[in-house]
Amino acid sequence: MVGRTIPALAVIAVGALFLAACQPTVDVSRASTTVRTGLALAPPDTPVLPLGRDGRPIRPSAIEGSKVFLKAQCIVCHGPEGLGNGPAAANLKSPGKDLLTDFLLLIGIRAKGEQLPSHPANFHNVVQMRLNSPFSMYETVTRGRPHTAMPSFGPRPAYGAATFGVRLTDEERWHVIFFEWAFSTTPAEVARGKQIYETRAMDVSGRMLTCAACHGTDGDGRGHEGLALSAKLWNWARGQGPGIFTDVNLMAQRKPSELFQAVMDGHGEMPSYRGKLTDDEVWAVVNYAWTFVYQYPAK
């Protein structure tokens, strides 16, 4: 058996060498050197927000959202000021339906689960809001919150979510969540954040720079230092990504706590401001940065 294996291996080895010798050669002596100049930028990401008539993502408005808040009767549970103290709030219960009750229903057994208290969100709870993101709130409004009293206002409710008579368009859902988002700050704090962002100069590598010097007065990264950064950072050249506060895809999916951490500890070209700004000052700047994405009522 061994005697047959050795000739077979020899034939395979010779065949492999023959095939390798027949591979075409590639002449790289005249290869273009244009690759040294860099590749073209990829097209912008598909926006998570719906497009307006101009073909650009809509700019959510807390003002328009206040109208939707009334239309969808959100005040019944969340209250007119978003404190979670609407007239129905104290008596809200979960539907008493879960995976077990649904499984039993498949085999013909109708069972009722325990109805637990279901508390509406308080949008003034800054701890809760700082650990949230606009997109997660949008998902809740769109699909509902399973096994609670929070219904779906979109076309496809999540499994276990209740439905409601009012259906909201995609645009209306974005408006209303930013109306709710605005409760997590105040006009005074936004004004304070703007003042720090535009005028508070910090020593960064021997230069006195403001936030606006890099991020731009419009939050688009087009400050006088931002132009230099765009030559080094592909995402800034593209007008998207960390540090570009007008990038709705980034900001809609970002938590305030993440921005706070980036300012405190630095990130990439972003220096650390720990010890240079107080916690309250950083939170004011973070809340102001979000107003580049949506229409804040008092801005």
Phi-psi region for residue 275, left (φ > 0), alpha (ψ -120 to 50) or beta? left
DSSP state of 261: H
Q: Is residue 261 a contact partner of residue 284, using CB atoms and an 8 Å limit?
A: no
* pLDDT recorded at residue 205: 76
Of 77, 103, 101, 95, nearest in space to 147 by CA:
95
For residue 23, what are the CA distances in angstroms to 15, 17, 19, 30?
Answer: 13, 10, 7, 20
Give the residue with greater pLDDT, 34 vs 248.
Answer: 248
SS3 283: helix
pLDDT above 80 for 44: no
Among residues of the chain, what percentage have pLDDT more than 70? 84
Phi and psi at residue 204, to the nearest 5°: -120, 105
Encode pLDDT of 79-138 as tens digits: 999 999 999 998 888 777 777 777 777 888 787 777 777 899 999 999 999 999 999 999
Q: Which residues does 16 contact at the CB level (< 8 Å), separation at least 6? A: none
**In the predicted model, what is the mean pLDDT of residues 37-54?**
69
* pLDDT recorded at residue 60: 93
State the amino acid at position 115 in one-letter form.
Answer: Q
* pLDDT recorded at residue 152: 94
Q: Cα–Cα distance between 44 and 150 in angstroms, integer?
A: 34
Q: Which residues does 125 contact at the CB level (< 8 Å), separation at least 6? A: 184
Q: pLDDT grade, residue 36 (50/70/90)? A: very low
The rounded mean pLDDT for the chain is 84
**Residue whose pair of structure tokens reads 């008092």 in the numeric block:** 298
Among residues of the chain, what percentage have pLDDT more than 90? 52
Q: Is residue 22 a contact partner of residue 256, using CB atoms and an 8 Å limit?
A: no
Which of 19-33, 53-67, 182-196 is most confident? 182-196
Two tokens at 61? 């408005």
Q: pLDDT grade, residue 294 (50/70/90)? A: very high
Two tokens at 299? 């801005």
State the amino acid at position 7 in one-letter form.
Answer: P
Two tokens at 7? 């000739």
Domains and CATH numbers, the chain: 62-184 (1.10.760.10), 187-290 (1.10.760.10)
Encode pLDDT of 206-235 as tens digits: 778 899 999 999 999 999 998 888 888 888
**Residue whose pair of structure tokens reads 């990264």 in the numeric block:** 221
Q: Cα–Cα distance between 176 and 255 in angstroms, integer?
A: 18
Rg (CA), the chain: 28
Q: Is residue 57 a contact partner of residue 291, using CB atoms and an 8 Å limit?
A: no
Lowest-confidence region among 89-98, 148-157, 217-226, 239-248? 89-98
